[in-house]
Structure formats: C-alpha cells, structure tokens
Amino acid sequence: MIGRKIALWTLPLAAGLAIAPPAIAKPLGDTDTSIKIAINEWTGQNLSAHIAGKLLEKLGYKVEYITAGTLPQFTGIASGSLSVSPEVWPSNLGDVYPKAKAEGKLEEIGELGLDTKDGWLYTADTKTVCPQLPDWTALKDPACVQALATPETFPNGRLLDYPADWGSASGPELKNAEIPFTPVPAGSEGALVAELQAAVAAHKPLLMRFWAPHWVLAEVPVEWLKMPPCDEKNLAECIVAPPVIKVVWAGFHEKWPAGYELMKSLQIHADDQQKMIYAVDKQGKNLDQAVDGWIEEHQSDWQAWVKAAQN
Amino acid sequence: MWLVVLAFIAICIAMRPALPWLVTYPSSWLLPVPSIINSVFGFLIPLLKPICAVLAIILRAALDACSAALQWMPWPAMILFFAILGWLARGWQLALFTAVGLGYVVMAGYWEQGMNTLSLVTLAVPLAVGFGFLLGVAAHSSRYVRGITMVVLDLLQTVPAFAFLIPLLLLFGFGPIVGLIACLVYAVAPMVHCTMLGLERVPPSLLEAASMAGCTRRQRFWHVILPTAKREILTGINQTTMAAFSMVIMAAIIGGFNDVGWEVLNSMRKAEFGQSLLSGLVIAVLAMVVDRITFGMAQPARDRTQTTLRNGLRMAVILGLPLFVAFLLNASPSTMAWADKAQGVIDPSGLNRVVIRFVQDFSAPLDAFKVFVLYHFMLPLRIGLVGAVTPFTWGFAWTFQVSTIYCGLSLSLAVWLWFRGQWQGGAGVLIGSTLLLLGFNGFPWPAFVIVVTALAWSVSGARLASLAGLGTCFIVGAGLYGPLGQSLYLCLLAVLICMFVGGLLGVAAAKSDRFSAVLKPVCDALQTMPQFIFLIPALMFFQVGELTGLIAIALYAIVPPIRYVEYGIRSVPADLVETSRQIGCTAWQRLIHVELPVAKPVVVLGANQTIMAALSMLPVAALVGTKDLGQQVYIALSKADAGLGLVAGLSVALVAMISDRIMRATVSNTGGALD
C-alpha cells in the first residue's frame, strides 16, 4: 500500500520534471472508502462498469460493484450510497433522474462515446409484406398495416414497444406521423428478445422498438427503419439515438478528485462493446476475461487517461 | 335488496352515454392518497434511516461471514455434510436424495450461486423464526395484539413484494440486505400462524394440571406449553424456510446478489429457456432438500435414544468428517481441480433450440389457437360482446336485433330461475350477462362498487359489506379502476380455466393412485420453481399480450384446485361411497351426487386458494405486457414513487382480502368450516 502510494506520488513528479506544466497534482482523495459502481441489468453496462472499476483500481482506489436496477439506481446515486453509473441511456430515465439532477444531487460527466442506435427495426420477412421499407412511409400502406395487425390492435398494425415502465416515445411519434399502428408494451427485455427470436424462426413479420449494441443483433438478421422526422429536442415525442452518458454522485469530485478526472475521460466504443457482449453472452466467456482483453488492447488509451487524471 | 341493486345498475348503464364519468373515473376526483403516503414517508425516512443503516451493516457482516463460510467448504465436503444431515433426519433414502439433488446443482454449474442463495436463506430463516415466534406468543396472549397482527399478516402476504420495495430501498440502500429483508418480511407469516395454532391446541386440562403442580408462569410456559406445541412450531419453521426460498427470486430483483435468483433473472432477460429452467430447478432442488431435512427433523423421533456422551461423540465425529474432508481438499488444490471438472457439465442450450424449432414448425396452429381464444373468450370479457362481435371476428355484426335477442334470453332465464325460487341465481344471471355485454372495460364503476358491496352484505353482513365497499371505493378513488378491470378479467378467466382443468385432473388423481403419483412432483415443481420460467416458451408461442399472461397465471394457479379436489374426494367417508355403490349408482352418478357435494367445502377452499395464487401472479404477468395492477406497481417503481407503488400493491391486497372473506363466508353459510 505504502509502496504504491509513493509510486503514485512520483509519477506526477516525474511528469512535472519532464514537461513542467503549471498543473497542480490531483490528490487521490479518500482511498480507504471504496467507490461504489452500479451494476445494471444488461451485459454491456456490466462490461463498462467493470472497465471503469479496473481503471479506478489501477489509480489506487478500492472499488465495489453493487447490483442496482436501472431506475432505482438514481435514488442510490443521489443519496451517495452509489458513487458512479458509467453507462446511462437517457432515452428511458423515468422521473427520478431529472428530479435528482435538478436538485444537484448527481452530476452528468459527459458521454461514454458509445455509438448507439435506438429506433424501430423489422425482421427480414417484414419486407415481403411491406416492400417500401426501410422508409417509414411504408407503414402507411394499408396492405402493410393489415399484415402487421393482430386481434388486440385491429384495425391498426402492431408495434412491439419498450416495457411500460421504461417509458417510450413510440406512441406520440406514431400519432404525430399519423401512422396507423398501436404500440404494445412488451413488459420486459426478455419479452422483446423472445418475440424477435420467435418471429425470425417462424418467418413472421414484426415491427418493434429496439436498441444497439445488443447481443441478439449478432444472431438474428434485422434492418432498421428510417424514422419519421420529428423535433429532436422534444425527447418525450421523438426517438433519437441517445448519447450514452456517465453519471456520478454530486460528492464524487470532492471525495475522489483523481478518480473524477479518470471517469470524465473514460471512453468505450460500440464495436468493442458489442464484441465483448457477444463473447460473454454467447461464447460463455467470463466477464473478467473480456474486460482484461479490453484493458490489454487499449493500453495507450487508458494510460493516457490515468496520466491525465494524476496531473 | 338485489332488486335495488339491479335497478341501480340499469340506471348507470342507461346514463352511460350522457355521463361518461360513469365508465372512466374522472381524474379530478382522484384521492390524493399517493402524495399523502409520500409525505408520510418524507417525514418518517430521515427518522428511521440511521437505525436502518446500523441494522444493514450488522446484517451485511453476518451475510458476508455466512457466505464466506459456505464458499470455503469445497462442494464435495458440503454434499457429504448435507447427506449426513439427511441420514440423521430420515435415514439413507433422504441421504441419497440429498446427494443426488446437490450433485445436480454442481453439474448445472450453479454451486457458488446456490451457496449464496443458501446463505441468504440461512440468515433470513432464524430471524423470521425468532420474530414470528415472539409475535405468535404475543398474539396468543392478547386479543388486541392478535387483531392487529392478523391484519398485518394478511397485508404482508398479499401485497406484491415490489410494492414495498421503494420504501425499503430508501431505508436500507442497495444490495442484498434489501432482498434479505423482503425475504424475512414474507417468511414471518407462516411462523406466526403456526405458533398461534400450536399454543391454541394445548389442552386446558394440561394447563390446569401445571397450575396445580405449582408451576410459575414462566415454568408453565417453558416446561408445559412449549413442549406440547413443539410439533406445530417445528412445522412453522419448515413453512418459513419454504416461504423464504420462494422469495429468493424477488430478493434478486430487489437487491441483486450473485445468487441463483439473479441467474434466473439474467436468463429470463436473454430469453434463454434452457438456462432459466436449469437455474430455476436449482432453487427447487435446494428448497426440496432443505424441506425434506427440516421436515424429517420435525417428525417425532421413532427410536431416538437419550443423548448420552457416546452418542454425542458419534455425532461430533459424523459432523466433523465433512470438515476434515474440507481441510484435505483445500490443502490439495489438484484434487479439487479434478473434482471441479464436474461443474457445469450440463449444457442446456439444446433445449433453447427445441423451443425455437417448435415455434418454426407449429407457428400456424399456435396462431390459430391464439386468435380463437382471443376472439371468443378474452375480448368479450374485456370489451364486452358489443365491442368484440364484429363480422371480422365472429362472422356477424352485433346489431340492435342481436342485442334484443340477447337481453330477452338472459331476462327470461333470470325470470325462470326466479320462479323456481332461486332468486340469487336470477340476479346473478342478470349481472353476469350485463358484464359480458359491456365487458370489464365498459362496466360503470358505481355499479361495480354496489355489486361487490351487496354480495358481501348478503353472504356475511354489514361488517364485510363495509370492508368491501370501502375497499373498492379506495381502488376506484386512487384512479385504478381501469387496471382493476384488467386484473379481474385476467384472474377470472384464469380461475375458471384452472378450476375446470385442475378439477378434472384432481378427480382423476383421486381415482387413480398411479396418476396421483405422477402428478405430485409436477405440482411441486410448478409451485417451487420461479414462475418467470414459464414466460419464455409462452412468449415465443403466443407473443407479447394478454394470452401469454393468462397462460403464465393459469400454470401457477392450477396447482391448488388439483390438490384440493383430490384431497376433498379422497376424504369422502368410505361408508357413504359404499352406500351409494349398494343403491346402484354408476361411477359418474356417485361423483356428481355424492362425492362432489360432500367435498364441496374443500373444493371452495381450493377455489379460494386459486384466486390467491392468480392474484399473486399479476406482477409476473406484467412482465409480458399486460395492463393490470401488477404493471402499475412496475410503473410506480420506475418513477420511484413510493406512494403510487404502495397504493397499487394495496389494491391487489384489497381484492385478495375481499374475495377471500366472501368465499369464506359462503362456505361457512353452507355449513362447512374453513381452516
């Protein structure tokens, strides 16, 4: 422990001697209390969380991974019982997040750099019944609507939507674009995945809302719809691929200054993440192995972040 | 009185077009219950938080120690230990069962998670047993405490766990402790019930004898009452353990911990049927092993000799042996590595492919079935015959003439019943046919409140009627009449299906010992495995929607009718059966005229349990996109609105309690007694 501390002290010293910038060394802060990283329900987030954790450990912090639901986690971050959530998708945040943010109890620290997709996708067999796809106007074709209609949505077509508790802008967007489809909330991620797999297996048409990166997209062929135009500022009525952000507890900066800088510079690319997700979920690789692989591959990136955090 | 009720309903329906608020409860009339609850929490939580934080730290330390100890033991030593326990409890058969069961856990590759689950349960059970015992004793000794305790227990068992999740999260923060507390809260109830039952059954003569022998109060309690009630208390411990196991999956949703529940959730999220079945079976196996061992220990010892020094020594050696093996294995990593090869040898992905292949080959008949059920059973109940019958679905339109014929038919049936003296039947036909005509979505809410209240009044009296009236008003006033209708229609259909199919299965099981032996493990598995598992194939076959939810509910709720019908018919006195045979009844006549009427109280109790099971599945059904009260709980969860979640949870509990009381009153009116 002492050895590491000295080593970490000498690093900025050496850097200072070499380039001599007028920077003040960022203290590590409280290295005895562990930084609590939120673990959510999907593998991509788990990977981001563990990458963040490993890098924080390299700086000299203790970390702890705490499983917390996507939405309840903000209550934890606001109260400080969770310190950081490294991958937050602002498309479905519910009501807690904006409330806590307005009260200044948590802090957004920039984007994670994940290139994401969020929108409506369809299976290959949908194209035979709605030939004008991928353009959204194809959904106004009565033959297409009829083919996608179900007893529950008749006479409208059926759009499988995000679960009701995630919140979704599909409904307003369908209404604004005057598309005769009814959104049917799925209930859970498993329900979305199961329907997609079943539709592909049974060669049935299906239109659903989904997101990328996701492991199932590496398994089943899908295409993304060109979304109808909408006001991108109004997130309640317009689906836009969200910039994935990093969120920390408001006291993070004060307590772990160097860690704060590191979290700010953390970037993960979608391609890398999708590869890791596939390795973990489908090839049965250990999460740690996948994360170690990333650390190995991106030596220069994270070493630069660590250095920047210490200066 | 029913005439007034019918007139009221008729007025409500006639006024529907003029006053739309009769169907959709106006939002300006909403009771501000959620915000009141939230402000109460806002006041209470800062007060309680420090205490809870200390509690959480203590529990966390205990949990860590417990799981560390269980993880330290290599699995062969642990299996040996449990097998020896099984042998001590019941003999070699149980030892073999235990070894095979735990061997499965190893081969499925969930040993580590299984031990974490076990440590969660190991910690929750003694606490629940302790609290439950104390509460049971307190409730036994004071009428006042008893009244409050009973209401609280009813609520704890019927409010879905998700509903009190938000306040728990606010109080205890994140992590397995919240899950542990949820387990504990849920598992307390059976202990309290069993303790009270045991204490009540102590014969007064025994108490008298104790007093005459000059016992002090304390002596009487410890040396007379407790030993007499021991059997029930031990059963209580067993039931508490089972309840704790059944909550493990909820604990995973709430807390999140590297346990089997979390694994089940993960595989559910990935829609992997094979993995979820595999991990779900791990919970079932662990529960069964612990159940058989504790049950074996609760049985009166047949030939247990006095614990002499020598016996104690033997026991120590037997229990010491696994520890010794553990030391050996920990000392030699190569042996352990060799043994570890057995971990995770079962590969369940083949099962996933089977499900997908099935969907591929049978999608057309599955679709046809789904459409048939939706058009002819589900839509009429939900939006009523008026909305469901169209040329597209039934082949003809619901015209004015059809409407007239329908009303005429139901009216004449009601009048006919009336003249035969069955006026209750007549009123029931009228109300039922109105409901079917308009559907749960179109039934005016004031009429609904009146019907439920009148029903409660006629079966039991003013007290139950006031509970029913206030309860339904609370639900409607909270703005949950829509989801309530959805829940009722799903549960009603599920209960009807379960009573019909389950009843037939139960009769068959009562008539054939072999069939009964096959059915029993299936029922056990349906009840102990996490219900989530059945959602995946149902989803793939029937897509997101209410039919899938209905199937999930029915699969779980089918167990009570099978069990109760079988039990009821089997317990018909043998002399009655013999007499009916002598007067020349055929098997069917005997079943319909002798056995079913005699078994009626038990069957009604089974129906009651079916309703409870169906209601408890509502939050699970919400995961496939139903719009019922369970979904409201999730939505509240996503908004972190403690008040809204509790109100939705309380609504489920109120529906459960009202229907439970009405069923019980019906049975006691017909002369049976419910226990």
Q: Is residue B665 part of a domain?
A: yes
CB spacing of B641 vs A95 below 8 angstroms: yes
Measuring CA to CA, which residue among B185, B25, B192, B160 is closest to residue B655? Answer: B160
- How far apart are alpha carbons B610 and B617 in whole angstroms? 11
Q: Is residue A211 part of a domain?
A: yes
Residues β-bridged to residue A226: A135
Q: Is residue B372 part of a domain?
A: no
CATH number of the domain that residue B576 is part of: 1.10.3720.10
- How far apart are alpha carbons B114 and B654 in whole angstroms? 35
Nearest-by-CA chain B residue for A189: B269
Q: Is residue A234 part of a domain?
A: no
Tell me the H-state helices in A60-112.
73-79, 96-102
The structural domain count of chain A equals 2
Q: Is residue A300 part of a domain?
A: yes
**Ramachandran quadrant class, B194 (left: phi over 0; alpha: psi -120 to 50; beta: rest):** alpha
Nearest-by-CA chain A residue for B379: A152
Q: What is the pLDDT of residue B399?
A: 77
Residues A163 and A15 in one domain: no
CB B330 within 8 A of CB B72: yes
pLDDT over 70 for what percent of chain B?
93
Q: Is residue A236 part of a domain?
A: no
Residue A214 sits in which domain range?
117-224
CB spacing of A165 vs B255 below 8 angstroms: no
Q: Quote the minimal CA–CA distance from A193 to chain B in Å.
A: 6
Residues B82 and B228 in one domain: yes
Interface predicted TM-score (ipTM) of this complex, two decimals: 0.78
Q: Is residue B65 part of a domain?
A: no
Q: Quote the minimal CA–CA distance from A205 to chain B in Å.
A: 12
Residues A259 and A211 in one domain: no
- Phi first, then psi, for residue B272 (nearest 5°) are -100, 105
* Residue type for position B369: F
- How far apart are alpha carbons A266 and A264 in whole angstroms? 6
For residue B379, the chain A residues in CB contact (below 8 A) are 151
pTM of the model: 0.78
- Among A224, A255, A287, where does a domain finish? A224
CB spacing of B256 vs A67 below 8 angstroms: yes
Residue position matching structure tokens 């529940």: B261
Residues β-bridged to residue A172: none
Q: Is residue A229 part of a domain?
A: no
Residues A124 and A206 in one domain: yes
CB spacing of A73 vs B174 below 8 angstroms: yes
For residue B539, the chain A residues in CB contact (below 8 A) are 190-191, 194-195, 198
- The verdict on B262 touching A (C-beta cutoff 8 Å) is yes
Q: Quote the minimal CA–CA distance from A148 to chain B in Å.
A: 13
Residues A105 and A248 in one domain: yes
Closest partner CB to B256 (pick from A39, A71, A154): A39
Q: Is residue B590 part of a domain?
A: yes
Residues A21 and A79 in one domain: yes
CB spacing of A191 vs B257 below 8 angstroms: no
Q: Is residue B170 part of a domain?
A: yes
Low-confidence ranges of chain B (pLDDT < 50): 303-306, 672-675
Q: Is residue A232 part of a domain?
A: no
CB A243 within 8 A of CB A90: yes
CB spacing of A202 vs B270 below 8 angstroms: no
Q: What is the DSSP letter of A284?
A: -
The structural domain count of chain B equals 2
CATH number of the domain that residue A64 is part of: 3.40.190.10
Closest partner CB to A66 (pick from B174, B357, B635): B174
- How far apart are alpha carbons B230 and B195 in whole angstroms? 9
CB spacing of A164 vs B631 below 8 angstroms: yes
Instruction: Give the model confidence (pLDDT) of B367-376 as tens digits.
Output: 888 888 888 8
Q: What is the pLDDT of residue B174?
A: 65
Measuring CA to CA, which residue among A195, A203, A51, A227 is closest to residue A127? Answer: A203
Q: Helix (H, G, I), strand (E, B), or coil: what is residue A140?
A: helix
Quote the strand ranges of B197-241, DSSP E.
none
- Phi first, then psi, for residue A229 (nearest 5°) are -70, 145
The pLDDT averaged over each successive group of 10 residues in chain A (311 residues) is 39 41 62 86 87 91 82 80 87 71 86 85 90 88 88 83 82 89 86 89 90 82 88 78 86 90 89 85 82 90 86 70
For residue B545, the chain A residues in CB contact (below 8 A) are 150, 152, 184
Q: What is the pLDDT of residue A25?
A: 56
Q: Quote the minimal CA–CA distance from B64 to chain A in Å.
A: 14
Q: DSSP per residue over A10-30, as a string?
A: HHHHHHHHHH--SPPPPP---
- The verdict on A151 touching B (C-beta cutoff 8 Å) is yes
Q: Helix (H, G, I), strand (E, B), or coil: what is residue A108?
A: strand
- The verdict on A160 touching B (C-beta cutoff 8 Å) is yes
Residues A33 and A125 in one domain: no
- How far apart are alpha carbons A178 and A189 in whole angstroms? 27
For residue A82, the chain B residues in CB contact (below 8 A) are 174
Residues A109 and A132 in one domain: no
CATH number of the domain that residue A131 is part of: 3.40.190.100
The distance from CA B655 to its chain's CA centroid, rounded to whole angstroms, is 14
Q: Is residue B664 part of a domain?
A: yes
Residues A27 and A59 in one domain: yes
Residues A10 and A37 in one domain: yes
For residue A203, the chain B residues in CB contact (below 8 A) are 363
Residue B593 sits in which domain range?
481-675
Q: Is residue B367 part of a domain?
A: no
- The verdict on A7 touching B (C-beta cutoff 8 Å) is no
Contacts of B280 (CB under 8 A, 6+ apart): B264, B529, B530, B532, B533
For residue A96, the chain B residues in CB contact (below 8 A) are 639-640
Q: Across all residues in chain B, what is the average pLDDT?
A: 81
For residue A197, the chain B residues in CB contact (below 8 A) are 271, 356, 540
Give the CA count within 13 Å in the CB-facing half-sphere of B471: 23
CB spacing of B623 vs A188 below 8 angstroms: yes
- The verdict on A150 touching B (C-beta cutoff 8 Å) is yes
Q: What share of chain A is helix, strand, coil (3-state, %, to 5)?
A: 45, 20, 35
Strands A106-111 and A245-249: antiparallel
Q: Is residue A235 part of a domain?
A: no
- H or E element that contains A182: strand A181-185
- Among B289, B321, B351, where does a domain finish? B351
- How far apart are alpha carbons B249 and A165 in whole angstroms? 20
Q: What is the DSSP letter of B591?
A: I
- The verdict on B394 touching A (C-beta cutoff 8 Å) is no
Using alpha carbons, list the distances in angstroms from residue B466 to B450, B460, B461, B656, B667.
11, 11, 9, 16, 20
| Helix pair angle (B445-459, B462-477), 10° resolution | 160
- How far apart are alpha carbons B222 and B227 in whole angstroms? 7
**Ramachandran quadrant class, B177 (left: phi over 0; alpha: psi -120 to 50; beta: rest):** alpha
**Token couple for B451:** 């019907």
Using alpha carbons, list the distances in angstroms from residue B81 to B75, B78, B310, B344.
10, 5, 20, 21
Residue position matching structure tokens 């991990």: B279
Closest partner CB to A195 (pick from B166, B357, B543): B543
Q: Is residue A122 part of a domain?
A: yes
Q: Quote the minimal CA–CA distance from A70 to chain B in Å.
A: 9
- The verdict on A287 touching B (C-beta cutoff 8 Å) is no
CB spacing of B175 vs A281 below 8 angstroms: no
Q: What is the pLDDT of residue B299?
A: 64
- The verdict on A134 touching B (C-beta cutoff 8 Å) is no
- The verdict on B631 touching A (C-beta cutoff 8 Å) is yes
Q: Is residue B19 part of a domain?
A: no
- The verdict on A152 touching B (C-beta cutoff 8 Å) is yes
Closest partner CB to B635 (pick from A39, A152, A164): A164
Residues A103 and A181 in one domain: no
CB spacing of B269 vs A204 below 8 angstroms: no
For residue B173, the chain A residues in CB contact (below 8 A) are 76, 79, 81
Contacts of B2 (CB under 8 A, 6+ apart): B423, B424, B427, B454, B458
- Among A154, A189, A224, where does a domain finish? A224
Q: What is the pLDDT of residue B311?
A: 66
CB A231 within 8 A of CB A237: yes
Residues A274 and A205 in one domain: no
Q: Quote the minimal CA–CA distance from A185 to chain B in Å.
A: 5
CB spacing of B393 vs A151 below 8 angstroms: yes
Radius of gyration of chain A from Cα atoms? 22
- Among A195, A224, A253, where does a domain finish? A224
Measuring CA to CA, which residue among A92, A250, A187 is closest to residue B639? Answer: A92
Q: What is the DSSP letter of A138?
A: G
Q: Quote the minimal CA–CA distance from A293 to chain B in Å.
A: 23
Residues A89 and A167 in one domain: no
